[in-house]
Amino acid sequence: MDKGRGKVTAMAVKAVDHPRARRDGRPAAAVATTAIPDPEVAAKPTRRRFTAEYKLQILREAESQRESGAIGALLRREGLYSTHLSAWRRERERGALETLRSRRRGPKPDPTHALRQEIAALEAEKQRLQERLRQAEVIIAAQKKLSEILGQAGPMRESA
């Protein structure tokens, strides 16, 4: 796997002056050209990540190999190590696809979050309704006082 070291670019190839190149009349570029590796190295190499499907495919392929050296050829072709196979086999035995299934990275969702949101919404509604009840009680009390001041005792009942 190429990690950014030793890459040869078109700009890095240059003709090397050879002492005999000029004596026999040939141009220097015709005598020797040397590929100079690119000295720039990646700041941080990226780590390879394998999907569960890829792991299972490679395990199936490796288990189907019957010839001597076929697994080694598979590993070389895919750029893998034998430790990958052994670790993936252990993971598969532990929980089949459960361990191999790609998991969501980052913080796990809080199962009580939805309940807490619902409780907060209900408490806010309760506060709002209690305030409306308090206002209604104040209005009713004011109407009673006004009724007493005006001397009305309420609707008259007919006596039989």
Question: What HEC string does 23-55 produce?
Answer: HCCCCHHHHCEEECCCCCCCCCCCCCCCCHHHH
pLDDT band at 14 (very low <50, low <70, confident <90, very high): very low
Q: Is the dihedral of CA 128, 133, 134, 140 positive or negative?
A: positive
Q: Judge contact between 76 and 84, C-beta under 8 A.
A: no
Q: Judge contact between 22 and 15, C-beta under 8 A.
A: no
**53-63: per-residue pLDDT in tens?**
888 899 999 99
Mean pLDDT of the chain: 77
Which residue ranges make up each domain of the chain?
52-100, 110-152
Least confident of 12-16, 113-117, 123-127: 12-16
Report which of residues 150 and 22 the model is more confident about: 150
pLDDT score of 40: 78
State how far the Cα of 45 lies from the Cα of 24, in Å rounded to an integer.
Answer: 47
State how far the Cα of 135 lies from the Cα of 126, in Å rounded to an integer.
Answer: 14
- The token pair at 141 is 């009390």
**61-71: per-residue pLDDT in tens?**
999 988 889 99
Q: Given a cut of 90, is residue 73 above it in pLDDT?
A: yes
pLDDT band at 28 (very low <50, low <70, confident <90, very high): low
pLDDT score of 58: 92
Q: Judge contact between 33 and 16, C-beta under 8 A.
A: yes
pLDDT score of 160: 47
Q: Which helix (H) or strand (E) holds 117?
A: helix 113-150
pLDDT score of 65: 87
